Amino acid sequence: MKFDAGTWKLLPGTHAAYPLTVVDVRTEPDALVVTGYSKVVHARHDYLDGAIFTARFTAPLPNVVRVQLAHFKGRRPRLPAFDLDYTLANPAAEIGRDETRAWLKTGDLAVVVPVEGEWRIDFLRGGRPLTASEPKAIGLFTQGGKTYLREQLALQAGETIYGLGERFTPFVRNGQPVEIWHEDGGTNSEIAYKNIPFYLSSQGYGVLVNHPGRVSFEVASHHVTRTQFSVEGHSLDYYLFGGPTPKDALEQYTALSGRPALPPEWSFGLWLSTSFTTNYNEADVLANIERMDALGIPISVFHFDCFWMKELTWCSFLWDRRNFPDPHGMLQRIKARGVRVCVWINPYIAEASPLFDEGMAHGYLLHTPEGDIYQVDDWQPGMGLVDFTNPEARAWYAGKLRALLDMGVDTFKTDFGERIPTNVRYHDGSDPERMHNYYTYLYNQTVFDLLRQVRGEGEAVVFARSATCGNQKFPVHWGGDNSSTYVSMAETLRGGLSLGLCGFGFWSHDISGFIGTATPDLYKRWVAFGMLSSHSRLHGSSSARMPWLFGDEAVDVLRHFNRLKAHLMPYLLDAAHEAHAHGWPVMRAMVLEFPDDPACRYLDMQYMLGSALLVAPVFSETSEVTYYLPAGEWRHLLTGEIARGPAWRTESYDYFSLPLWVHIARGQRWAYLQGFAPEP
């Protein structure tokens, strides 16, 4: 959100106040508190008609500083708040002052402020400048009848910024305005399903804005030397994670916000879907499972998309008996083949669903401010939404899903969660603006907790689309509605790498694209990328994704890469344990593993799978791919070729191969990274 018109002026209709002068500094046992005044004081009359700003600094963890900015401290807290570990305490933090400055030090990170004179905040790491809130960076603005509090953190020359959720715009955020606001818009737009108010810097630090509602970022796009973030209201709360590497900052951030649960091993295998609007019944489902098995392409999970329920009733959680007359028996027949079952759900309840009357009678659905059930003709006629702030509504919703688990369902695709209105009333009095993004946390937490309770620790997994800060605890997430083009394949990867830099360890996507139907060429290339992702699912919209629909060679390619993923499974499970223990994604942007290599800062068409395996998908029907090997000695997993980096390479690959390089020094502990023999 923009407030300034260049360097010297404000936008028309905008008014501002800034903390200009430090008027008080006090040290407390666990905090440094600084008070600023909105005027430069020359005489006693300057103390009239000004504004007071307070900055409170604490250290919940070593190398982590929390900054709480406030104007008008009498404002009551609003719900909801992020589910952070607020109990963390850091007794090793040092708080002190001398004649000219005051400080809070935690590990190698320090925040330093003057004890008088001009207001500013400096963040140091190892005694050297890291970033700063310079004069007039913090400001209180009125615009359009609303009040906003802003912060700006200085950027160093050449510094690059990443993250802010699963974003499909350019991978490096510099130059971009970003609105943290969930919307359902596909992968070819600037809006996103997974908005996370957390970013990583190439300087090895991270920042979380602790606000679950709308946060407006201007990343070197408004003031080109600063990253700006602002929220509506009179308070602003953020954490700075000092690193010193991006992996360290991710580990610190996820220690506070939560680390991914470890998904069950079976979830890493191939998922096959009915797809969205295709026609299918029990006979079709079983025939597809049997044919995949006969072709030597075993699947781990079969997914029933929307039409397992009757049209116009989503969600009823009742099988459409016209196509599935014996759902319990069908599920047992599928599971007898060693295949798990996933079914599609969402938090919206159509008026024609029998659950609507039940939810309305008990107050389980969202209400308008006037007390009516909130309804809209969007997606499903007259649909309402479950109020997950009501514990009884959560138990009711979970109870409907428990019946499906008892029947034999193993997991759920928790779709949607973005179309959440703000003109509603919540059971617990939550602010609708703050709940818009946070709704998905309660929704997915409800489902994941049920799975953990019924199936046991280590067996819970969902296939979720929307997310906010903390949703990484409930894996897996997939990339939403992409298209069957090479451009969309690239934007899909870009979004996944961006999400991974926000602590999401496990991520998937619709192999060959959701919208449209891929050419056989694109299908085969996307299969290689999809099977070298943490989780792999064949899914589409109006057409199915079985490999034989794309030709005999597509069957062979899918079999080849399915075997390759099975060969790599011990390595992938080690990477999964790292995600669970440290918050590092299984699919890692090159900058995360090679932060000191300037060439890796902008790379978004290749990635590291774990710490030792480089993957560069082919994004062109020409079969050519240009990619970069960082410093070190590398071995191609499929050909055995040895190469040394740093080096750029341009090569052509057939459908059974792609740049897949093992960093020899990093890969020594995994014997199965020495090579992979193709099927005879």
Instruction: Locate 583 and state its tokens.
Output: 């918050």
What are 14's two structure tokens? 């905008």
CA nearest to 238, candidates 418, 84, 17 = 84
The per-residue pLDDT for 680 is 58
> Which pLDDT belongs to residue 670?
87
Torsion of CA 457, 461, 465, 469, to 10 degrees: 20
For CATH 2.60.40.1180, the residue range(s) in the chain are 587-673
pLDDT at 284 (0 to 100)? 96
The reported pLDDT for the residue numbered 498 is 98
- For the four alpha carbons of 65, 71, 77 and 80, in that order, the dihedral sign comes to negative
Nearest Cα neighbor of 274 from 334, 316, 192 is 334
Q: State whether CATH 3.20.20.80 applies to domain 271-421+450-460.
A: yes
Query: Residues spanned by CATH 3.20.20.80 within the chain?
Result: 271-421+450-460
Residues linked to residue 663 through DSSP beta bridges, in sequence order: 634
Classify 271 as helix, strand or coil. strand
Burial label, 97 (beta-carbon count in 10 A; 0-12, 13-18, 19+):
middle
- For 60-80, give the DSSP string: EETTEEEEEEESSTTPPP-S-
pLDDT tens-digit series, residues 308-340: 999 999 999 999 999 999 999 999 999 999 999
Which CATH code for domain 587-673?
2.60.40.1180
Check residue 643 and give its pLDDT: 98
Question: Is the full-model pTM beyond 0.75?
Answer: yes
Residue indicated by tokens 């280590």: 458
* 202-232 tens-digit pLDDT: 999 999 999 999 999 999 998 999 999 999 9
Q: Which residues of the chain have pLDDT under 70?
A: 680
pLDDT digits (tens, 9 = 90+) for 92-143: 899 999 999 999 999 999 999 999 999 999 999 999 999 999 999 999 999 9
Known catalytic residues are: 415, 418, 481
Quote the pLDDT of residue 88.
80
Amino acid code (one letter) for 671: A
Cα 440 to Cα 518: distance, rounded to the nearest angstrom? 31
